[in-house]
Chain A
Amino acid sequence: EPEVTQTPSHQVTQMGQEVILRCVPISNHLYFYWYRQILGQKVEFLVSFYNNEISEKSEIFDDQFSVERPDGSNFTLKIRSTKLEDSAMYFCASRTTGGLWAPDNSPLHFGNGTRLTVT
């Protein structure tokens, strides 16, 4: 079964450094998302991306964050200047709702996440 893959599985970075988290969504999916989960807490929405632009973002997703789909397969999350409080598990997700025969609200498929540790 196709799956969302994320790299790296664990990233350690120093405060103030830039970090890029990478994701390869499922190939026929149209909508892409980043979520984060601080240890022991709920999964929080960051941003959604469709047709090469951001469709929605949360208040967490400030100017330090950006997303890109540079080559039609990878979907990246960049944090420009990391802070200690950015330490979390970051999950990429994708889904498709395209086509006449696809049901509305198709399931969201998550990757296994990148654990980001900011020191």
Chain B
Amino acid sequence: GENVEQHPSTLSVQEGDSAVIKCTYSDSASNYFPWYKQELGKGPQLIIDIRSNVGEKKDQRIAVTLNKTAKHFSLHITETQPEDSAVYFCAASRSSASKIIFGSGTRLSIRP
């Protein structure tokens, strides 16, 4: 069945350094890959997404890359700040109305 694997489960980086979170997906029909940030006591919030016709997308300090052949996609956060501390989820979806399948999450901690 559809599955999204996410690594690492926890990540601690020094403030100002970069953080990278990696995901793989099993369903070759997936063509939409959102990333969500979840802060304590809140629902997941979309931070960036990428579609299968694009290999890379950047929004300020956040970038995502997608390798459809290898079924890999990654989130890169540069110049990390304390407010980046949260749980990050990757996800994959087939099409406009399909369910989104989440990865298991990465707890990112930014050390001052």
Contact A41 B104, CB 8 Å, known A104-B95, A113-B43: yes
Q: B31 contacts which of A41, A105, A111 (Cβ < 8 Å)? A: A105
The contact string, 1 if C-beta is below 8 Å from chain B, for chain A 92-115, is 010001000000111111111100
Contact A48 B104, CB 8 Å, known A110-B44, A112-B41: no
CB pair A45 B97 closer than 8 Å = no
CA distance A31 to B98 in the complex (A): 10
CA distance A97 to B97 in the complex (A): 8
B27 to chain A, nearest CB (A): 13
Contacts of B105 in A (CB 8 A): 42-43
CB pair A108 B34 closer than 8 Å = yes
The contact string, 1 if C-beta is below 8 Å from chain B, for chain A 47-64, is 010100001101000000
Number of interface residues of B (CB under 8 A): 25
In the complex, the chain A residue whose C-beta lies closest to that of B49 is: A107
Asked if A75 is at the interface of the complex by the 8 Å CB criterion, the answer is no
Asked if B80 is at the interface of the complex by the 8 Å CB criterion, the answer is no
In the complex, the chain A residue whose C-beta lies closest to that of B44 is: A110
CB pair A45 B96 closer than 8 Å = no
B19 to chain A, nearest CB (A): 19
In the complex, the chain A residue whose C-beta lies closest to that of B99 is: A45
CA distance A105 to B94 in the complex (A): 8
CB pair A31 B97 closer than 8 Å = yes
CA distance A31 to B104 in the complex (A): 24
Asked if B51 is at the interface of the complex by the 8 Å CB criterion, the answer is yes
Asked if A18 is at the interface of the complex by the 8 Å CB criterion, the answer is no
CA distance A43 to B92 in the complex (A): 12
In the complex, the chain B residue whose C-beta lies closest to that of A46 is: B99
The contact string, 1 if C-beta is below 8 Å from chain A, for chain B 23-55, is 000000001101010000111111001010000
Contacts of B73 in A (CB 8 A): none
A15 to chain B, nearest CB (A): 25
Within 8 A of A (CB), among B86-100: 89, 93, 95-100
6 contacts between A and B (CB under 8 A): A4-B43, A48-B98, A91-B43, A104-B96, A105-B96, A113-B43
